[in-house]
A and B are shown apart, each in its own frame.
Chain A
């Protein structure tokens, strides 16, 4: 099946630094990718929808200048947490919309997640 790889799987950084997380679709082209943040009580919060070659669409309340999303190719989207602070510590998950399936279904493939800890 389709594979989405996320890197790094965990990262620890100092407050004020920037961290980049990569999301790659390994065996298919993903025109649309999603970035989620997962809070301790398990809920997934959609941060933004990333479409290849265009600006990401951010959900309400998500700071676009803080969470920079770039989707420069059909197989790679990146999330950069700029000037990270301890409250940004979280589990970030990407997913890619596959091209298989009939119209209206879609297949959503998830990365392994990235655990960010800001000291």
Chain B
């Protein structure tokens, strides 16, 4: 089954404790992206990747890191999480990115205390 898999689905942690949210897709997509969703603000793009070793900032990249060492994986790293990063996070992928539908994962709800 074609899918985008995120882990964990839920996480409660404390300020400053490094965490990684994994994202994996099995559709051989070139384009992958991370979004955060906050009430009243919609979906905002954090980072995106056009292909392996190619990443770029979206609208809200501060406090986040990403890497794309393999085509199927695109982890989101919070080196020193802060409470304002409490949010619902979605990973998505598409075939090429420029004009293709995004396939979303189920989301990861992060709470930073």
Indicate whether A and B interact: no
